[in-house]
C-alpha cells in the first residue's frame, strides 16, 4: 500500500495511491485500521507533501564502505557502531519542493538514502529480531549536507539541519514483499539534471535495518512516524540553484526536488 500526504482545496489529508493513479482519501492518520472517506482525487488536482511529519529524523552516517572511502579525510574511518545524528523536523520538505542553498554556501551535496518510517507501536529497547515489527513502511530521503560546515564544525548539526535539507517522499510503501522486493536489497540511485551520480544497493549497508532500529531504540524512543535515514552510497556531489535532483529507490518511486537559493526574509520582518 502506498500512503501519501497531500494538499487539496479541502486541506491536508492522508490517502492511498491506487493502481489507477488516483488518491483515495483516508480518515485521520494512516496508522492502524485504514478508513476511507469516499473522496478520490486525480494526482493533477492535488499536491503531494512529505508523506509523514516526523517528530525527529534519526540519521546514520558512514554506513556504506564506498561512501566512507570517497569521504576519506573528511569524516574519518568506518565506525564500530552506528554513527547517529539528528535532523530537525523543520528540515523536512516534500516531493517537488525546493532544496534551498544557504547564503554564501557553495558546497551543498545530495545524499540519496532509504528512509524507514516507524509505525504505531513505536520502538524502545527492541532487539534486532523484534525491530522490523516496528516498521510502518519505507520511503526515500535526501540527506542534504553543507560539506564545508560539516568539515569545519566537527559535528554535523548545522551542516545537516538547514530548512529544506531533508526531502522525503513521494510516498510510504507499507508492503514491499507484495511487489516481490526486500528492503535489505534495493537499488538506490541519484541523478542531477539527468546525470547519474549515485548508484548502490541497500545490501551494502554496513549496519542493516534491524540493527539500526534496535541500536537507536536503546538510545531514544522512536515514536510513530519517526524516520530513520540509513546512509548513502558513494557518488555524493555538489548541487546549485537551478538544478534538479532525483533520488530513486527500487519499488519506492522517485523523489524529485528543484534547487534554489534560500530567501532572506526574517520572521521579524524584512530581510535578515
Q: What is the CATH number of the domain that holds 175?
A: 3.90.850.10
Question: What's residue 272's pLDDT?
Answer: 57
Residue 272 forms part of a structural domain: no
Residue 270 forms part of a structural domain: no
Q: Which residue has the higher pLDDT, 76 or 258?
A: 258
Task: Based on the fold, state whether residues 249 and 136 are members of the same structural domain.
Answer: yes
- Any idea what DSSP says for residue 177? G
Task: Based on the fold, state whether residues 20 and 71 are members of the same structural domain.
Answer: no
Confidence of residue 133 (pLDDT cuts 50, 70, 90): very high
In the predicted model, is pLDDT for residue 89 greater than 60? yes
Rounded Cα distance, 211 and 159, in Å: 26
Task: Based on the fold, state whether residues 126 and 234 are members of the same structural domain.
Answer: yes
Task: Based on the fold, state whether residues 73 and 36 are members of the same structural domain.
Answer: no
Burial class (CB in 10 A: 0-12, 13-18, 19+), 80: exposed
Task: Based on the fold, state whether residues 170 and 44 are members of the same structural domain.
Answer: no
Task: Based on the fold, state whether residues 25 and 70 are members of the same structural domain.
Answer: no
Average pLDDT over residues 104-126: 97
Residue 213 forms part of a structural domain: yes
Residue of 253, 229, 261, 247 lying closest to 54 (CA atoms): 229
User: How confident is the model over 12-62, as pLDDT tens digits?
Assistant: 999 999 988 899 999 999 998 999 999 999 999 999 999 999 999 999 999
Rounded Cα distance, 188 and 43, in Å: 25
Task: Based on the fold, state whether residues 24 and 93 are members of the same structural domain.
Answer: no
Residue 271 forms part of a structural domain: no
Residue 217 forms part of a structural domain: yes
Question: What's residue 70's pLDDT?
Answer: 86
Q: Which domain holds residue 102?
A: 57-261
- Any idea what DSSP says for residue 266? -
Task: Based on the fold, state whether residues 8 and 132 are members of the same structural domain.
Answer: no
Average pLDDT, the chain: 95
Residue 267 forms part of a structural domain: no
Task: Based on the fold, state whether residues 8 and 36 are members of the same structural domain.
Answer: yes
Residue 227 forms part of a structural domain: yes
Task: Based on the fold, state whether residues 14 and 94 are members of the same structural domain.
Answer: no
Task: Based on the fold, state whether residues 197 and 100 are members of the same structural domain.
Answer: yes
Query: Domain containing 19 — which CATH number?
Result: 2.30.30.370
Residue 223 forms part of a structural domain: yes
DSSP-based three-state secondary structure for 157: helix
Angle CA(149)–CA(155)–CA(161) in degrees, nearest 5?
65
In the predicted model, is pLDDT for residue 181 greater than 90? yes
How many domains does the chain fold into? 2
Average pLDDT over residues 160-169: 98
In the predicted model, is pLDDT for residue 109 greater than 80? yes
Task: Based on the fold, state whether residues 121 and 251 are members of the same structural domain.
Answer: yes
Amino acid at each position: 500500500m502506498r500512503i501519501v500526504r497531500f494538499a487539496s482545496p479541502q486541506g491536508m489529508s492522508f490517502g492511498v495511491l491506487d493502481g489507477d493513479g488516483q488518491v483515495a482519501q483516508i480518515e485521520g492518520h494512516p496508522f492502524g485500521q485504514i478508513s476511507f472517506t469516499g473522496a478520490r482525487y486525480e494526482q493533477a488536482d492535488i499536491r503531494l507533501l512529505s508523506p509523514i511529519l516526523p517528530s525527529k529524523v534519526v540519521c546514520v552516517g558512514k554506513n556504506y564502505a564506498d561512501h566512507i572511502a570517497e569521504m576519506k579525510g573528511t569524516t574519518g574511518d568506518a565506525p564500530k557502531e552506528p554513527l547517529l545524528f539528528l535532523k530537525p523536523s523543520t528540515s523536512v520538505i516534500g516531493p517537488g519542493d525546493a532544496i534551498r542553498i544557504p547564503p554564501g554556501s557553495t558546497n551543498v551535496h545530495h545524499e540519496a538514502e532509504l528512509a524507514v518510517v516507524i509505525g504505531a507501536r513505536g520502538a524502545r529497547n527492541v532487539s534486532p529480531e523484534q525491530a522490523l515489527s516496528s516498521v510502518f513502511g519505507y520511503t526515500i530521503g535526501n540527506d542534504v549536507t553543507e560539506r564545508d560546515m560539516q568539515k569545519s564544525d566537527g559535528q554535523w548539526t548545522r551542516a545537516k539541519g538547514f530548512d529544506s535539507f531533508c526531502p522525503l517522499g513521494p510516498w510510504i510503501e507499507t508492503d514491499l514483499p507484495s511487489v516481490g522486493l526486500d528492503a535489505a536489497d534495493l537499488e538506490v540511485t541519484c541523478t542531477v539534471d539527468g546525470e547519474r551520480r549515485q548508484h548502490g544497493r541497500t545490501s551494502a549497508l554496513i549496519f542493516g535495518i534491524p540493527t539500526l532500529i534496535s541500536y537507536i531504540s536503546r538510545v531514544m524512543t522512536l515514536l510513530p512516524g519517526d524516520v530513520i535515514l540509513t546512509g548513502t552510497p558513494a557518488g555524493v556531489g555538489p548541487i546549485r540553484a537551478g538544478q534538479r535532483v532525483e533520488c530513486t529507490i527500487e519499488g519506492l518511486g522517485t523523489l524529485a526536488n528543484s534547487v534554489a537559493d534560500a530567501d532572506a526574509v526574517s520572521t521579524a520582518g524584512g530581510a535578515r
